[in-house]
Amino acid sequence: MGSISLPTINTQNLIYGSSMGFNVQQMVQATMQVLELPASSLLTEQNQLNTESSALTSINSDLNSLQTAFQNLTSLAGGLSGMAATSSNSGVVTATADSTATAGNHQISVSALATTSSYDTNALASSSTTFGTGSFTIQVGSGTAQTVTVTSANDTLSGLASTINQAGLGVTASVITDANGSCLALLSNTTGTPGNITVASNTTGLTFTQTQAGTNAALTVDGIGISSSSNTVTGAIPGVTLSLTGTSASPATVTVGGDTSAATTAINSFVSAYNTVIGDINQQFSVTTGTDAAGNTTVQAQPLQADPGLSLLQSQLLYAANYTMSGNNGITSLSSLGITVNTDGTLAVNNTTLQSALSSNFAAVQNFFQGATGTFGANLTTTLSQLTDPSTGPLNVELNNLQTQQTDLTSQINQINAQLAVQQQQLTQEYSQVNASLQTLPLLLQQISGQMGSLGSVSSGGSTSGG
**Are 130 and 200 found together in one domain?**
yes
Confidence (pTM): 0.72
Per-residue pLDDT, 363: 93
CB 216 within 8 A of CB 228: yes
Per-residue pLDDT, 224: 97
**Range 173-183 burial, b when 16+ CB lie within 10 A, else e:** bebeeeeeebb
10-residue mean pLDDT series, the chain (467 residues): 37 44 76 70 76 90 97 95 96 96 96 98 97 97 97 97 97 97 98 97 97 98 97 97 96 96 97 97 82 74 81 95 95 97 97 95 96 95 96 92 81 78 79 74 67 59 45
**Are 178 and 106 found together in one domain?**
no
**Are 430 and 323 found together in one domain?**
yes
Per-residue pLDDT, 286: 81
Per-residue pLDDT, 450: 65
Per-residue pLDDT, 12: 40
Query: 138 forms bridges with which residues in the sheet?
Result: 146, 199
Per-residue pLDDT, 316: 96
**Are 124 and 271 found together in one domain?**
no
Residue-wise DSSP of 149-206 = EE-TTS-BHHHHHHHHHHHT-SEEEEEEEETTEEEEEEEESS-SGGG-EEEE---SS-
Q: 319-323: long-range contacts at Cβ-Cβ below 8 A with a sequence spacing of 24 or more?
A: 319/383, 320/379, 320/380, 320/383, 321/274, 321/345, 321/347, 321/380, 323/376, 323/379, 323/380
For residue 465, tell me if it sits in a domain: no
CB 219 within 8 A of CB 109: yes
Q: 19-27: long-range contacts at Cβ-Cβ below 8 A with a sequence spacing of 24 or more?
A: 19/439, 19/442, 20/438, 20/439, 20/441, 20/442, 21/435, 21/436, 21/438, 21/439, 22/431, 22/435, 22/438, 24/428, 24/431, 24/432, 24/435, 27/427, 27/431
Per-residue pLDDT, 334: 98
**Are 242 and 268 found together in one domain?**
no
Per-residue pLDDT, 432: 78
Residue 206 belongs to what domain range? Answer: 118-212
Number of domains in the chain: 3
* Domain final position from 185, 212, 239: 212
